[in-house]
Amino acid sequence: MTRCILAVETSCDETAAALLFDGRIVAETVHTQTDLHSYYGGVVPELASRDHVAHVGAVCQNVLTGYEDKVELIAATRGPGLIGGLLVGLQWAKGYAFGRGLPFVGVHHLAGHLAAPLLDPDFDMDPPMICLLISGGHTQIYAIERWGEARLLGGTRDDAAGEAFDKGARLLGLGYPGGPAIQNAAAMHQGPHKQLPRPMLKRGLEMSFSGLKTALRDEIYRRDVNAQLDTDQQTELAASLQSAIVDVLVHKACAALKETGYNRLTIGGGVAANGPLREALQTAAHQENFSLYLPPKKWCTDNAAMIAAAAAIRYQTKGADAFDIPAKARWPLVEEWAIQSAN
Ligand code: KG4
Ligand code: ZN
Domains of the chain: 4-117+299-336 (3.30.420.40), 126-294 (3.30.420.40)
Nearest CA to ligand 1 atom 14: 179
- Minimum-distance ligand 1 atom for the alpha carbon of 300: 1
CA of 271 to the centre of ligand 2 (A): 9
Q: Which of 313, 329, 272 is nearest to 11 (CA)?
A: 329
- The answer to whether the CB of 162 is under 6 A from ligand 1 is yes
> Hey, how many other C-beta atoms are within 10 angstroms of the C-beta on 322?
8
pLDDT, position 334: 94
Q: What is the mean pLDDT of each run of 10 residues along the chain (343 residues)?
A: 94 98 97 94 95 98 97 98 98 98 98 98 98 97 98 98 97 94 98 96 95 97 96 98 98 98 98 98 98 98 98 97 98 95 62
Residue nearest to atom 18 of ligand 1 (CA): 179
- The response to whether residue 136 sits with its C-beta less than 6 Å from ligand 1 reads yes
Query: What pLDDT sits at residue 1?
Result: 78
Residue 274 CB less than 6 A away from ligand 1 = yes
Helices 231-260 and 275-288: angle between axes, nearest 10 degrees: 40
| Smallest-distance ligand from the CA of 135 | 1
The pLDDT score that the predictor gives to residue 343 is 54
Residue nearest to atom 19 of ligand 1 (CA): 179
- Read off the pLDDT of residues 152-189 as tens digits, 9 standing for 90 and up: 999 999 999 999 999 999 999 999 899 999 999 999 99
CA–CA gap between residue 7 and residue 17 (Å, rounded): 6
Question: What integer pLDDT is reported at residue 159 of this predicted model?
Answer: 97
pLDDT score for 60: 98
pTM across the whole model: 0.96
Quote the CA–CA distance of 201 and 279 in Å, as a whole number: 20
CA distances from residue 210 to 12, 146, 196, 231 in whole angstroms, order as listed: 22, 33, 12, 24
Atom of ligand 1 nearest to the CA of 109: 6
Q: Is 269 in the pocket of ligand 1 (CB under 6 A)?
A: yes
Query: Ligand 1 within 6 A of 148 CB?
Result: no
Q: Which residue type is seen at 336?
A: E
Are 181 and 169 in contact by the 8 Å Cβ rule? The answer is yes
